[in-house]
Chain A
Amino acid sequence: QQPVQSPQAVILREGEDAVINCSSSKALYSVHWYRQKHGEAPVFLMILLKGGEQKGHEKISASFNEKKQQSSLYLTASQLSYSGTYFCGTANTGNQFYFGTGTSLTVIP
């Protein structure tokens, strides 16, 4: 039931771009994205509610392909502060809210 994310880990230099993918075997009605820094609580980034919807947050944006049951998070011109573990999350019809397997992102100078 847990969405699968790829890649598991990525290392970037400042200014580089990255894409994190989230796939589910079940129908997705919405997708959340959160970032967790080491030793801290996850922090909300954005929600995508409709198929095809794209949302942006500064240089971080996301898309949602309802048909393919996938969502992607795009990080543009990465900054050191982007380092952390990114989780997608989704609710199923039973109201269970599952997070994806997580993607560790490290931005180096």
Chain B
Amino acid sequence: DSGVTQTPKHLITATGQRVTLRCSPRSGDLSVYWYQQSLDQGLQFLIQYYNGEERAKGNILERFSAQQFPDLHSELNLSSLELGDSALYFCASSARVGSSNEKLFFGSGTQLSVL
């Protein structure tokens, strides 16, 4: 158990809908990262937050947004969903913002299916 909690584990929805994925980092970790992993694909970096502030942005679509709350949990909002958004979404946390020298702990992921 990595200590990172993601909910829900599975989500099935229809095209055009909006969903929210939730992530609680390990106790004490200030950084949260979001990644998208499509079927048999690699891990695509979406966005990183540190202590409530956006720290880095990757290949995140404009239809997607995220935020980190004062209690450090984070939410990833996906709107106007398309079939191609179906993927496994991972959140990871690390203690500080220095991602170059700190390992990432991953949650078990949310499997999103858009029908």
Contacts and interface: CB of A to CB of B under 8 A. Distances in A.
**Category for how many chain B residues contact A:** 20 to 34
A30 B100 contact: yes
Contacts of B107: 41
Contacts, number: 61
20 contacts: A30-B100, A34-B104, A41-B90, A41-B106, A41-B107, A41-B108, A42-B90, A42-B106, A44-B104, A44-B105, A49-B100, A87-B42, A87-B43, A89-B104, A91-B99, A95-B55, A95-B97, A95-B99, A102-B42, A102-B43
A109 interface: no
B56 interface: yes
Interface of A: 2, 29-30, 32, 34, 40-44, 47, 49, 87, 89-91, 94-102
A91 B43 CA distance: 14
Q: Is the interface of B mostly helix, strand, loop or mixed?
A: loop
Contacts of B99: 91, 95, 97
